[in-house]
Amino acid sequence: MNLFGILDQIATRHGDRGAIFLGTRQLHTWRELRDRALRLAASLRQVYPVGTRIAVATENRPEIVELMFAAWAAECVVVPVNYKLHALEMVQILEDADAAMVFASPKIAQGLTPATAIAVESLDGAAYTARFNVEPAAAPRDTDPAALAWLFYTSGTTGRSKGAMLSHRNLMAMAVSHLADFDNPDENCSLLHGAPMSHGSGMYILPYVLRGARQVVPESAAFEPDEFLDLCGHHPSTSSFLAPTMVARLVATGRPRPANLNTVIYGGGPMYVESLKRAMAAFGPIFEQLYGQGEAPMTITGLRQRDHLAGNGLADDATLGSVGYPRSGVDVAVLTEAGTSAAVGEIGEIVCRGDVVMSGYWNNPEATAATLRNGWLRTGDMGSFDERGYLTLRDRSKDVVISGGSNIYPREVEEVLVTHPDVVEACVVGAPDEDWGEVVVAFIVGTADPAALDTHLLERIARFKRPKRYVFVDELPKNSYGKVLKRELRERLG
């Protein structure tokens, strides 16, 4: 099994239909895309053996799609790199992956070339154009499903990024689970890439190509809410994966939902209940939630569109605040510190297993041994199941604040803080304290008065969970996927 077969099949079935769009403009049909990928693959095969790591470092661009399938057709490994990283951070990933070369946008190529001895090829250069003059390669037929297909580098919110090794089988399992659980696209549908294609949005290329849905890349190469909504109005039956912060930016435009926007899958960070309610009030019941990690890409638990509703209105807060139930093909459990299954309502570490789970971390046996135990992926996330089988995330295990011997889950405090009308965003961390071990500190974006926040919290949660200190900031530090960098907030506290 080789993932290139997805493109090969759809090009045979729908060869003359539009496949790749830049903004509103069609660039390639499915047949043309297949030909381009096979020509790129042939040019790679002339130089690189099977298993070579081929990196891609660019803003969202149409070339990402052809490069992914070309790497797989050449039986190489694609290594997408977060384009917002500093050049030296990119070099760290390229060297860790032992990448043979990197395809990059002109801007990124300019910064990378003097920083590394690894070959850097601009996507706008003559060398890249010349690759399409090569006779196309034959489609691969005998790839081992366990062969490495994608090195997924974690976002590194807590330190050095690690490369999760994802096989052809892992990614096919992810694609099939998405189609089984969430969306049902066909050749008359579109996937709009608002989030970075180096990670979540790029992962979703697979299930949508599997069904022949067009791939739409904004001309801005990034997420601009007005451009995004305009493109939804142009392309048929649009779906998109967005981080919760992106959803909030769409709502902030005040614009109505385009009729063609059918599905928004959100994930990659916490979606607070109040934020979700505002989004649903603005755009209707088009939202689906995923909970996953790079180590189990996009696929641990989820909430379907219908799960967000009950009767003629919204589901209750417990449901909206959960991450749903286990995905198709995935076993999910919550374990106590003793390693036993947690009771209903009991908080423990979330673990999962299934064909979607990585084989380990690239060149990092210690991290692999710590994360993969007895066939289970230890997520590092804390959560609990309710009596319906719905999973609720509490926090990352390292983010739990232990104050005076009591566990305090920042997410619970944040959920209450953002219900205050003068709070735009909130993030809770623990700070060392001689008397209590740790105390709760809340970083606030907004104009709320600390005394008013105390009153607001004490009316809703236990006193011991109340922050001992509020720090008001203009914005919370985030990575390019919308995750708050709690490490930076802790560093500010000294």
Identify the pLDDT of residue 312.
86
Q: Which domains does the chain have, with CATH numbers?
A: 4-168+272-385 (3.40.50.12780), 400-493 (3.30.300.30)
pLDDT at residue 405 in the model: 65
- Whole-model pTM: value is 0.86
Q: Please say if the pLDDT value at position 487 is more than 90.
A: no
- 84 and 247 in contact (C-beta within 8 Å)? no
| Other C-beta atoms lying within 10 Å of the C-beta of residue 191 | 25
- Detail the DSSP E strand segments found in 387-458: 391-396, 401-403, 406-408, 423-433, 437-446
- Quote the CA–CA distance of 406 and 414 in Å, as a whole number: 17
Q: Do the Cβ atoms of 269 and 244 come closer than 8 Å? A: yes
> Strand 18-22 and strand 25-29: pairing?
antiparallel
- What pLDDT is recorded for position 453? 95
pLDDT at 443 over 90: yes
Q: What share of the chain is helix, strand, coil (3-state, %, to 5)?
A: 35, 30, 35
The number of angstroms, rounded, from the C-alpha of 223 to the middle of its chain's C-alpha atoms is: 14
Q: How many CA atoms lie within 13 A of 238 on its CB side?
A: 25
Q: How confident is the model at residue 157 (pLDDT cuts 50, 70, 90)?
A: very low
User: Which residues are CB-contacts of 7 (< 8 A; sequence separation ≥ 6)?
Assistant: 30, 33, 34, 37, 69, 209
What are the tens digits of pLDDT across the range 129-142?
A: 999 999 999 999 88
| pLDDT value at residue 281 | 96
pLDDT at 158 over 50: no
What is residue 85's DSSP assignment? Answer: S
**21 φ/ψ angles, rounded to the nearest 5 degrees:** -125, 140
User: Where does the pLDDT of residue 478 fall: very low under 50, low under 70, confident under 90, or very high at 90 and above?
Assistant: confident
Of the listed ranges 98-112, 371-385, 394-408, 464-478, the least confidently predicted one is 394-408
Q: Which helix (H) or strand (E) holds 302?
A: strand 296-303
Buried b (16+ CB within 10 A) or exposed e, 136-153: bbeebeebeeebbbbbbb
Whether residue 27 has pLDDT greater than 80: yes
Higher local confidence (pLDDT), 464 or 413 = 413
Average pLDDT over residues 297-309: 97
Separation CA 100–CA 50 (nearest Å)? 12
Specify the residue for token string 């990933």.
93
In one-letter notation, the amino acid at residue 398 is K
C-alpha triplet 127, 128, 129: angle, nearest 5°: 90
Cα–Cα dist 376/350, whole Å? 10
* Count of Cβ atoms closer than 10 Å to residue 474 Cβ: 5
Q: What pLDDT, on the 0 to 100 scale, is given for residue 362?
A: 97
What mean pLDDT is reported for the chain? 93
Radius of gyration of the chain (CA): 23
- Give the tens place of pLDDT for each residue, 205-230: 999 999 999 999 999 999 999 999 99
First to last CA, the chain: 51
